[in-house]
Structure 1
């Protein structure tokens, strides 16, 4: 005897189906069946069609949820501001890397089905970390946030970094200090 899934309001049911579908898409790609989705969500297959018109709508909802910047922005805003500045940035890079990795995994597993317009990135939460150090920066906090996110993307992408991912601390050091030797050219002896 099977037990029925508890009754949920439509938005909660949609959210539960989306949450259950993401791991399936990562594992099996867009060829996942509605039967597999229903099993993963612990519901009858017909329940899916009570809140989604078809499987493609489920896949697109999962993609939109994965690309939604809001959870990342909340996580960035929750970083402990009492930590040293560099540690705050390392925590931010960890969050951004995790988001990028999840998106890349989804895109590579489902291909063109993942092409959905995404809202432009809001750098406010990340920029707020730089705000306390504004006087020590050569750029404004929003530009610094944009540069940190771009650098993280460039040195974290599995294809671009040839499988040798840069650590969050290395990314922060590269952003803040660059790659030039601190003594380079300053004493008139070292030539760079």
Structure 2
């Protein structure tokens, strides 16, 4: 296993542990779950803080959710396409929220902040990323915009504008409080497509 493969494997194993234990997770727990010696972790990461930041950075990457959205069949009805995209995005945001919340609850908000700012202390993180890596938001927007393309001629607005509005709906869902906190992605999709008013008979 190459150093990069080992690093990726450790991060994959560590993410659910960080989501469960936050900053209280130990490198011993991570090593046990990964089936490696604890010393192996410190050959890849300078310390536990760097591992935690790497986990948050990985959770923030849009690669997985972009692949999920891109795999949605354009032959499906638009409502089904948007529901599938909404579910994928909701799961992505919940993964990020679980990690950030666990870190904050255990007194380590800096781990989440540093990762979100891209301030990992590794040489790899200090290298200038490729354009596609720098702007993950465009990857998600492009994948969602593609879902509108089959209906382009019958849409009230261009797919690009609808995509921005649709993502705005979904990204604010997690910040809704009170009775709105239980709003499901499918409900937002329905509201997005059909509006808030009941159609007259």
* TM-score bracket for this pair, using the shorter chain length: 0.7 to 0.9
- With a CA cutoff of 8 Å and minimum separation of 6, indicate the structure with the bigger relative contact order: 2
Q: Post-superposition shift, 1:163?
A: 6.9
* Residue of structure 2 in register with 1:172 after alignment: 189
1:40-90 deviation digits (Å, cap 9, x = unpaired): 111101001111111111111111100001111111000111111111111
Please point out which of 141, 151, 160 is paired with 2:159: 141
Q: Is the 8 A contact 1:93 1:152 kept in 2?
A: yes
Q: Which residue of 1 aligns with 2:169?
A: 151
Answer with 1 or 2: which has the greater Rg: 1
Q: How do 1:1-192 and structure 2 match up within 5 A? A: 8-111=1-104, 112=109, 113-115=111-113, 116-117=116-117, 119=135, 121-122=137-138, 123-155=141-173, 157=174, 160=177, 162=179, 164-183=181-200
Hey, which bits of structure 1, 4+ residues long, moved more than 6 A? none
**Structure 2: runs of 5+ lacking an equivalent:** 119-134
Distance 2:94 2:197 in 1: 29
Q: Do the aligned partners of 2:61 and 2:136 also contact (CA within 8 Å) in 1?
A: no
Report the 3-state secondary structure (helix = DSSP H, G, I; strand = E; otherwise coil) of the residue aligned with 1:95. Answer: helix
Query: 1:34: how far off?
Result: 1.3
Quote the Cα distance in structure 1 between the aligned partners of 2:25 and 2:179. Answer: 30
Normalising by structure 2, what TM-score?
A: 0.81
* Aligned residue pairs, count: 176
In structure 1, runs of 5+ residues without a counterpart are: 1-7, 185-192
TM-score between the two structures when normalised by the length of structure 1: 0.84
